[in-house]
Amino acid sequence: MTTTPKTATPVIEIHGLHKAYGSLEVLKGVDLTAPRGHVISLIGSSGSGKSTLLRCCNLLEESQQGEILFEGESVRWKGEGLSRHPADRAQVTRIRTNLSMVFQQFNLWAHLTILQNVMEAPVTVLKRDPVEVEAKAREYLAKVGIADKADAWPAQLSGGQQQRAAIARALCMEPRALLFDEPTSALDPELEQEVVRVIKALADEGRTMLLVTHDMKLAADCSDHVIFLHQGRIEEEGPPEAVFGRPQTERLRGFLSATA
């Protein structure tokens, strides 16, 4: 895990974020900082707001209050409350292309080979040279351990292999940060470990990552900072050795006991 100079601008900063769906308030004033090269894990019960917070980070969800900054640049908004939305679509596109997301479901294109899936966004969205992108795509497929599956179709791969392909696809965008939304929860334990090994290797490389996970061992092993969300608020946070080894609140102690 990485030590970032105090003067370095964080990749992502969130201040006082509120998110509601109609009258249902899901996030109730959340703060988050993801320094460059750090892994931030978000843990908590189902419905605590973890995935919503992650989706707000890359503007897949629109928040009603609070500030979101990407590399020191504040997202510009217009409107207020439930009518608030980003004011600059070009800014949104630029931010999203620098924050690659890996979902619980792999979301691979069934009609494209694995190599084509990995190449698709850099070629069509970023307009990069296909020859250069192919070389990078093969490099990232090798990094996640499925170089031999480049010409296979998604349906020919196991769930663990498909998720590793999704990670290679995210890496091929060469983002500033990777956002993982429960990347192993759809996998059985054996396949889950394939993906866990890849995530840990990426953490060891010093990549900036936000990780929503139900796997407490993964969060403990690869995080620089852990945030425990409860009912839309940060109940407790800190380095993994403190959060998992010396929980301060009854809610966190109960949660860790239930997931042990």
Domain positions in the chain are 6-98+181-260, 107-174
Question: How many residues would you count in the chain?
Answer: 260
- Local confidence band at 189 (pLDDT 50, 70, 90 cut-offs): confident
Q: What is the pLDDT of residues 149-163, one digit of tens each?
A: 999 999 999 999 999
d(CA 116, CA 235): 42
> Partners of 18 in the beta sheet?
28, 65
Quick check: pTM over 0.75?
yes
Q: Which residue has the tokens 């993906």?
A: 195
- Local confidence band at 204 (pLDDT 50, 70, 90 cut-offs): very high
Among residues 194, 136, 123, 122, the alpha carbon closest in space to that of 163 is found at 194
pLDDT at 190: 86
Type of residue found at 78: K
Q: Of 69-73, 135-139, 189-193, 227-231, which gets the smallest average pLDDT?
A: 189-193
Q: Report the percent of the chain where pLDDT is more than 70.
A: 97
- Local confidence band at 70 (pLDDT 50, 70, 90 cut-offs): very high
CATH of 6-98+181-260, one of 2.30.30.140, 3.40.50.2300, 3.40.50.300, 3.40.50.360: 3.40.50.300
Type of residue found at 207: R
d(CA 255, CA 248): 12
Handedness of CA 108, 170, 210, 12 (dihedral sign): negative
